[in-house]
Amino acid sequence: MMHANLGCHRHVIAGAIVLLALAGGVLFWAVQIEISGAIVVQGQLAVERSSQSVQSEIGGRITGVFVAEGEHVRGGDVLLQLDRSAGQLREDAVNQNIAELTLRRARLQAEQDGTAQIDFPQVAGNVDPQEIARIKEGERRHLEASEAMFRDGQAQIATAKDQIAAQISGIRAQRAAVVLQIALIEEQLTAQEALRARGLTPAAAVLALRREHVRLTGRQGELRSAEAAANERITGLSFDALHQKEARRAEIIAQLNTLSSDLSRLTGAREAILQELDKLVIRAPVSGIVHRLTVQHQGSVIRSGETLLHIVPQDRPMTVIARVTPKAVDQVHVGQTARLRLTGFNRPETPELNGQVVHVSPDAITGPNGGQSHYNITVQLPAGALQDLGPDMPLLPGMPVEVFVIQAPRSAMSYLVKPLTDYFVRAWRES
């Protein structure tokens, strides 16, 4: 009996030792071994900057659709074309006017320089070459007619001056003859007066000579006055020739100034028209994939400011936007590592990626109609995430992602004790 009790007592002691060893081992494990926990939240993929909507500044009729849904485009590619017939007519009319004024200015510059050849510049804008040739030929004829008219005017003045110069030569010849006649009359008058003094000639002869002398002297004055008047007419004609040149030069300068003003105005009008025409060409603002294309065929009519399509950028870093409850937000901070499970892929094994928390919203966000509040966190994917997944698993905005925000390692004892301590703290506060 005693031996039986002793054996039972030994078994109890051995069991107690085993239990104590087991409890000690569990306690040692709970204190020494650290376990990394995680907060599990749901999120979705997004680009660093969301997709860009493409709108038209002006309304109109679509004449060209150059993209399709899901097509990859590069920044600057032409996506859609609006009807430009009305704007093209205005541009053609302005280009025609600019061409005419440009070629006319070249002709006026040739007139100003006094050259017979016109140095026509290259005409900007899309103008019919035959029309350009017609305008050039008209300007050449205009230059020839203008030069001929100017030369005729100058020639008429030169002819008038030559005629007056010939008249002056005749007047001078007459003056020379009158001077000679006066000299002869004076000799005769001297002789007759000597004879009259001796009574050898009658007084009437002397008086006749004196009258002739007076007449010739008057004639000499008339001829001198006529020569002066002729010289004055030559001077006036010289001024007329100079005035004709200056008037022509002033008229050319005035026309050039007017042309410069008109060309500046038309150039500004053309730039405005080109800007309007450029708005009719809808281009991709960024590189990416065409999404939600609303225009499918030509002939569609769009309104000003209407969203025509979206472009989802593919060359920008991908991020994950996830929602964290207010109870768990204190356990999330910038710089934490996050494990991302891409649940949107239908694969035998769910792909996983590592990320990093780069942003936590500073305030709670309340859903519409007073829904449950939450905090948004942003997890950035590593630079080589797309390469790691491969081309057969493209990451697209909006795909669901399960986010595991890794917590700092804690001992198992902490996980066991914390609920009890929290319970007692609440109990003490309530009491």
3-class SS letters over 100-131: HHHHHHHHHHHHHHCCCCCCCCCCCCCCCHHH
Q: Is the pLDDT of residue 32 over 60?
A: no
pLDDT tens string 94-144: 999 999 999 999 999 998 988 888 998 888 778 888 998 999 999 999 989
Among positive and negative, which fits the CA dihedral 232, 235, 241, 243?
A: negative
Q: Per-residue pLDDT tens for 175-227?
A: 888 889 888 888 888 888 888 788 788 888 888 888 988 888 898 889 899 88
Find the range with the poorest average confidence among 18-27, 79-88, 102-111, 246-255.
18-27
Segment 317-343 shows an average pLDDT of: 86
- Using one digit for the tens of pLDDT, what is the confidence trace for 56-75? 888 899 999 999 988 889 98
Separation between Cα atoms, residue 294 and residue 304, nearest integer Å = 14
DSSP 184-212: HHHHHHHHHHHHHHTT-S-HHHHHHHHHH
- Helix (H, G, I), strand (E, B), or coil: what is residue 135? helix
* Phi, psi (deg, nearest 5) at residue 399: -70, 140
Output 428 or 148, whichever has higher pLDDT.
Answer: 148
Name the 3-class secondary structure at 360: strand
pLDDT at 386: 60
Can you give the pLDDT at residue 397? 74
- Please report the pLDDT score of residue 423 as a whole number: 55
pLDDT digits (tens, 9 = 90+) for 368-380: 666 688 889 988 8
Residue 430 has pLDDT above 60, yes or no: no
- Statement: the pTM of the whole predicted model exceeds 0.85: no
pLDDT at 410 over 70: no
pLDDT band at 344 (very low <50, low <70, confident <90, very high): confident
Name residue 191's amino acid.
Answer: A
Q: What percent of the chain has pLDDT over 70?
A: 81
What local confidence, expressed as pLDDT, does residue 140 receive?
92
CA 65, 69, 71: angle at the middle one, nearest 5? Answer: 90
Q: CA dihedral in degrees (216, 222, 227, 229; nearest 10)?
A: 180
Question: Which of 91-105, 322-336, 379-393 reaches the highest mean pLDDT?
Answer: 91-105
**How confident is residue 24, by pLDDT bands cut at 50, 70 and 90?**
low
Out of 13-17, 128-132, 242-246, least confident range: 13-17
Q: Provide mean pLDDT across the span 237-257.
A: 91
Q: What average pLDDT is seen over the chain?
A: 83
pLDDT at 34 over 80: no
The pLDDT of residue 382: 74
Q: Give the residue, 184 or 397, on which the prediction is more confident.
A: 184
Question: pLDDT of 302-314, one tens digit each?
Answer: 999 889 998 887 7
Q: Report the pLDDT averaged over residues 45-55.
A: 76
pLDDT number for residue 62: 92
- Give the pLDDT confidence of 274-304 residue by residue, as tens digits: 999 999 999 999 888 888 899 888 888 999 9
Distance CA 104, CA 98 (A): 10
pLDDT tens-digit readout, 259-275: 999 999 999 999 999 99
| Rounded Cα gap, residues 2 and 9, in angstroms | 10
> What confidence score (pLDDT) does residue 330 get?
86
Is 413 a residue whose pLDDT tops 90? Answer: no
